[in-house]
Structure 1
Amino acid sequence: MKAPGMKVMAHELASTANASAQDALSPYKEALREHFPTREALLQEAKQQTKRQRVLKKVGSGMAMSLALALSWVIDPVWHSENMRTKVGQQASFTLTDGSHVALNTNSALVVEQHLYSRRLYLKQGEALFTAEHGWRPFTVYANQTQIRDIGTIFNVRNTDQGAVVTVVEGSVEVRTPQARRILTRDVSVTTQAGGITESRCSSANIAWQQGRLMFDGHALASVVDELQRYRHGRIQIADRLAAQYRLSGEFDISGIDTLLDTLPDIMPVSITKKDDGTVLISHR
C-alpha cells in the first residue's frame, strides 16, 4: 500500500515535467502563431473584409450609375417617333407629344423624334411652320444640311434643292450650316446654300401660305411657275425664254391655281395651252 505522501510527490513531479515540456514547446507555439492566426484574428479579418466588400460594392454601383447616365447623354436614345406627311395641294396641322405645334404645307414630309434629352425634327421635303413649346430639352429642326435651333419662337422652314429658307415670325433661332452660324430675330429671313447663310428682310410672302395665299412682288414668271407647281399635280411648263422673263405681282388663292393660270393671258402677253394629261404650256404671244 502506497503512502499518501508518495501520491502527492508523484503528482508534483508530473506537473513539473508537464510544465517543463510546455516550456520546451513554447518557442514552437509562438512560431506557429506567426504563421497561423488565432480564431479571434480570423473573425476580425473576416469582418474587415466584409466591410471592404460593402464599400467596394457601393462605390461600384455609384460608378455604374454615373457611367450609365453619362452614356445616356451621349447616346440620347429616341423614346417616341412620328412621321407626318401632306400630299400635293394639301396642308395640315399637328400637335406634338410635348405640346409643340407644326403646320405642314403642300407635299411635305417631316420626321419627329422625341429623344431622352432633346427634340429633333427632320424636314425631309416641303415646308413647315413650327411653334415650339418651351422646355429644358432643345428643339432643333434639320433641313438639307441646315440646323435650326429654337430659342423660344415661331419660325418657318422651307427645304429647297440648294439648302433651306428660314423665316422667324416671333422670338429668335440659331441657324447653323457646316460653314456658318447666325442668330435670327423676329422678321428676319435667311437662305442657306453651299454651306453659307444669306440674310434678307422677312417677306410676308414667306408665310402667306398659312392664310391660304400666294404673294408675288415682281417675281419672274419662271419663279412664279416653280411656286405654283408645288400645289398642282399636272405639269406647268414655259415654252420660251421670253415668257419666262415676264414679271407678276399680286396676291392669289392657293386653292385657285388653275384659275390663276387661266387669267395669265389677261395680265401679260402669254397664251395658255392645256393638254389631255393635265400639263399646262405657257408661251409668249
Structure 2
Amino acid sequence: MKSALCEQELDEPLADELTEQALQWLVDLHAGEGQSASWDDYLRWCATSPVHQQAAQTAERLWERLGSTLERPKSRRMPLLGLVLAIGLAGGSYWQAQNHGWMADERTAVGERRSVQLADGSRVELAPRTRVDIELSGTQRLVRLYAGEVFVQVAADPQRPFEIEAGNGRIRALGTAFDVRNSGNSVHLVVTEHAVRVTHGQSAQVAEVEEGQGLQYGAQWLSRPQVVDVNAATAWRRDRLVFNERPLGEVVDELRRYHSGVIWLRDDELGSLPVTGIVGTGDVMAQLQLLQQSLPLRVRQLPWLTVIERDPDRTK
C-alpha cells in the first residue's frame, strides 16, 4: 500500500504547480527582493516534502538553462537534501500537505473548471487551480477552501448548516448561492442569491452579506459589505474575466490561473496601470499580446517563464 506522500509524488498536476511555485521563488529572489531571510524561506519551502524538493531542482535547472546564474548567498549553500533530513521530513511534510490542501478531496489544474454534485443536492463549481476538502456529516456540511475559487449553490437543509472555511473566516449559507475566492492573503466573497453570514476568526466580527453584495477579509481585518457587479465577479464560470479599472498586477494574478508557467511582472509601477475590458481565458498569451498593444509594455516568452516589462520606446 502506497503512503499519501508517495501518491503525492505521482501527481503530475501537483508537481507542475509546485515547479511553477519554485520558479516564482527564483524570479522573486533574483529581482532584487531576495535578502538572506528570503533565501531561508525558500529553502524551508523546498524542504516541505520530497515533491517540493524535486520541483525546486527542476526549477533551478530551468533557471540555469535560461542563461541565469543562481545567486544564492554563500551562507545559504546547504544542499537541499541535507536540509530536508535536518528538519525531519516525514512528519513535517505530512502536516504541510494537510495544511495546504495538497491532498485535498478535489483539485483542479491550470485552466480546468469542474462541477461537483454533493450527496445533499448542493453543487460546488471549482475554478482553475482550486483545492477543497468536502465534509458531509449528520450535523454539518463543510467545504474547506485552501486555494482558488468556488461557486456554490446550496440545497436547503435546516438541520445541517452549510459552511465554507477559507482563510481566517467561516462563511455560512442562509439558503443561497455565492462565490468565494481564496487568494492566500485575502478572501473575496460575492453573494448571487439570498444571503450569507461571515464570521471572522481573528476579530470575532460577524457580517451578513445580502444578494448583490460582496466583502473581503484578511488575517486581521474584515471589510464592510458593499454592492458589487455580480456578473463581472462570476464571469470565470463563462470562461471570461471582466476588469474595470483593475491594476495590471491584479489582472496578471487572475491570468496565472489559466497559464502553465510563471508570468513575471518585472516593474512594480507597471502593476498599477489600470486595465478595463473583457478577457478570454482560453489563450492567455494572446490576451497578453492584446494588453501589449494598449499599454506601454512588452511581453517576452521563454520556456516556463513569461516576462512582462516596460517598453522603453513607449510612454504611458
TM-score by length of 1: 0.68
Deviation at 1:141, TM superposition (A): 0.8
Deviation at 1:213, TM superposition (A): 0.5
Aligned match for 1:132, one of 142, 154, 163: 154
Counterpart in the other structure of 1:194: 219
Question: Which stretches of structure 1, 4 residues or longer, exceed 3 Å deviation after superposition?
Answer: none
Query: Structure 2: how far apart are the matches of 1:246 and 1:85?
Result: 32
Task: Return the structure number with greater relative CO, CA threshold 8 A, min gap 6.
Answer: 2
Instruction: Determine if the alignment matches structure 1 residue 101 to structure 2 residue 127.
Output: no
Deviation at 1:221, TM superposition (A): 1.3
Query: Structure 2: how far apart are the matches of 1:202 and 1:219?
Result: 14
Instruction: Determine if the alignment matches structure 1 residue 166 to structure 2 residue 168.
Output: no
Q: Across the two proteins, how many residue pairs are aligned to each other?
A: 203
Could you say what secondary structure the match of 1:280 adopts?
A: strand
Matched to 1:126, the amino acid is: G
Deviation at 1:96, TM superposition (A): 0.2
- Cα gap change, 1:241/1:117 in structure 2, threshold over 3 Å: closer, same or farther? closer
Instruction: Determine if the alignment matches structure 1 residue 207 to structure 2 residue 234.
Output: yes
Counterpart in the other structure of 2:281: 254
Query: Structure 1: how far apart are the matches of 2:220 and 2:196?
Result: 18
Counterpart in the other structure of 1:280: 306
Please say if residues 191 and 212 of structure 2, whose CA atoms lie closer than 8 Å, have aligned partners that are also in contact.
Answer: yes
- Cα gap change, 1:144/1:271 in structure 2, threshold over 3 Å: closer, same or farther? same
Deviates more, 1:222-231 or 1:238-247: 238-247
Please say if residues 242 and 284 of structure 1, whose CA atoms lie closer than 8 Å, have aligned partners that are also in contact.
Answer: no
Aligned match for 1:265, one of 292, 298, 304: 292
Matched to 2:212, the amino acid is: D
Runs of 5+ unmatched residues, structure 1: 1-81
Matched to 1:227, the amino acid is: E
Deviates more, 1:191-200 or 1:230-239: 191-200
Matched to 1:220, the amino acid is: P
Deviates more, 1:218-227 or 1:236-245: 236-245
Deviation at 1:148, TM superposition (A): 0.5
Please say if residues 221 and 243 of structure 1, whose CA atoms lie closer than 8 Å, have aligned partners that are also in contact.
Answer: yes
Please say if residues 147 and 184 of structure 2, whose CA atoms lie closer than 8 Å, have aligned partners that are also in contact.
Answer: no
Counterpart in the other structure of 2:260: 233
Could you say what secondary structure the match of 1:88 adopts?
A: coil
Could you say what secondary structure the match of 2:133 adopts?
A: strand
Runs of 5+ unmatched residues, structure 2: 1-103, 312-316
TM-score by length of 2: 0.62
Matched to 2:216, the amino acid is: T
Matched to 1:122, the amino acid is: R
Deviation at 1:242, TM superposition (A): 3.5
Query: Structure 2: how far apart are the matches of 1:170 and 1:117?
Result: 24
Query: Structure 2: how far apart are the matches of 1:227 and 1:130?
Result: 20
Matched to 1:278, the amino acid is: W
- Cα gap change, 1:271/1:113 in structure 2, threshold over 3 Å: closer, same or farther? same
**Residues 188-226 of structure 1: per-residue CA shift (max 9 Å, x gap):** 101011333213322233211111110111112111111
State the identity as a percent: 27
Query: Structure 2: how far apart are the matches of 1:122 and 1:266?
Result: 40
Instruction: Determine if the alignment matches structure 1 residue 217 to structure 2 residue 240.
Output: no
Could you say what secondary structure the match of 2:129 adopts?
A: coil
Deviates more, 1:125-134 or 1:112-121: 112-121
Query: Structure 1: how far apart are the matches of 2:215 and 2:260?
Result: 29
Aligned match for 1:141, one of 150, 159, 164: 164
Please say if residues 112 and 122 of structure 1, whose CA atoms lie closer than 8 Å, have aligned partners that are also in contact.
Answer: yes
Query: Structure 1: how far apart are the matches of 2:199 and 2:290?
Result: 42
**Residues 53-84 of structure 1: per-residue CA shift (max 9 Å, x gap):** xxxxxxxxxxxxxxxxxxxxxxxxxxxxx811
Matched to 1:261, the amino acid is: L
Deviation at 1:163, TM superposition (A): 3.3
Deviation at 1:241, TM superposition (A): 3.2
Deviation at 1:165, TM superposition (A): 0.8
Instruction: Determine if the alignment matches structure 1 residue 118 to structure 2 residue 136.
Output: no
Could you say what secondary structure the match of 2:285 adopts?
A: helix
**Residues 79-115 of structure 1: per-residue CA shift (max 9 Å, x gap):** xxx8111111100001000110010001111111111
Please say if residues 143 and 163 of structure 1, whose CA atoms lie closer than 8 Å, have aligned partners that are also in contact.
Answer: no
Please say if residues 146 and 176 of structure 1, whose CA atoms lie closer than 8 Å, have aligned partners that are also in contact.
Answer: yes
Query: Structure 1: how far apart are the matches of 2:132 and 2:218?
Result: 21
